[in-house]
Amino acid sequence: MDINLPLILLIAVGVTGVVWLYDLVALRGPRLRAIEKLNEQFPDLEESQRGNNEAYAAAYVALAAEPVVVEYSKSFFPVLFLVFALRSFLIEPFQIPSESMVPTLEVGDFIAVNKFSYGIRMPVFRTKLIPIGSPERGDVMVFFPPNETRYFIKRVIGLPGDTVRYTNHELFINGVKAEQTLVEQENVTRMDQCIARGGRNVIVDEVVGDEAYRARKCSIPGRLSVDGTWHVPEGHYLMMGDNRDNSSDGREWGFVPEERVVGKAFAIWMHWDKLLSLPSFSRAGGI
């Protein structure tokens, strides 16, 4: 089961904030009045002497003590609120769990996602509050696919109103073919879907409009790369993984509604392949 961290953070911020507010409104006043009465019981003690008087000090500590729940809430609320605000409105980290975006992103990459590139949204509910920008063709975007609660990351290929065709690894957008240039043929021989079909993975530079990026494809197209045409409805986007024959994407499950957009991935900041391995920053940089 996937953990809904934004919802957990929202609940934690709400609970600790309510406890802190309740203490401020209902509990703090009686504590202060009790301390005032204590001071009246020691009229001969100067303020500088109170700490040295054992009877006064013991009584003061008992009266001024906050409930444990209040103490922890006041300590955690500012930190939780800051983390919640940063993750909700500015930048959120994600880890790449699959090979669907190879060669751009590898399994174990930690990426930073700009949460306001496509507008300020209400946390958890994702309702857009302030429109700022919209996804552009070629962006690497984090989103929720239709009927999914998990985050996905793919590349924006089709914008609202586009007609996209993908046939034998050739991409056409509104009838215009995307230029492809062979970069290299992989020499990796470990078994995967491509090699199992008798093919070989190759890396190409693909250009869509003004955006250039690298994609990986099998010399023998997989079922999602043989032939397909999609007409992107208004308010929706067609997403594809850069690893075209090893990606579950819009060619299979359809279009992403605008309200399910999360943000734009803009940088790799760390790579951590396995739990027992050491983190690496050799891949840090822009996407």
Q: What positions carry a catalytic annotation?
A: 100, 154
Comparing CA positions, the residue from 183, 187, 238 lying closest to residue 215 is: 183
Q: List the structure tokens of 274.
A: 């396995």
**In whole angstroms, what is the distance from residue 189 CA to residue 196 CA?**
10
3-state secondary structure the chain: CCCCHHHHHHHHHHHHHHHHHHHHHHHHHHHHHHHHHHHHHCCCCCHHHHHHCHHHHHHHHHHHCCCHHHHHHHHHHHHHHHHHHHHHHHEEEEECCCCCCCCCCCCCEEEEEECCCCCEECCCCCCEEECCCCCCCCCEEEECCCCCCCCEEEEEEECCCCEEEEECCEEEECCEECEEEEEEECCCCCCCHHHHCCCCEEEEEEEECCEEEEEEEECCCCCCCCEEEEECCCCEEEEECCECCCCCCHHHHCCEEHHHEEEEEEEEEEECCCCCCCCECCCCEEC
Block residue for tokens 């006043």? 29
**In whole angstroms, what is the distance from residue 260 CA to residue 266 CA?**
18
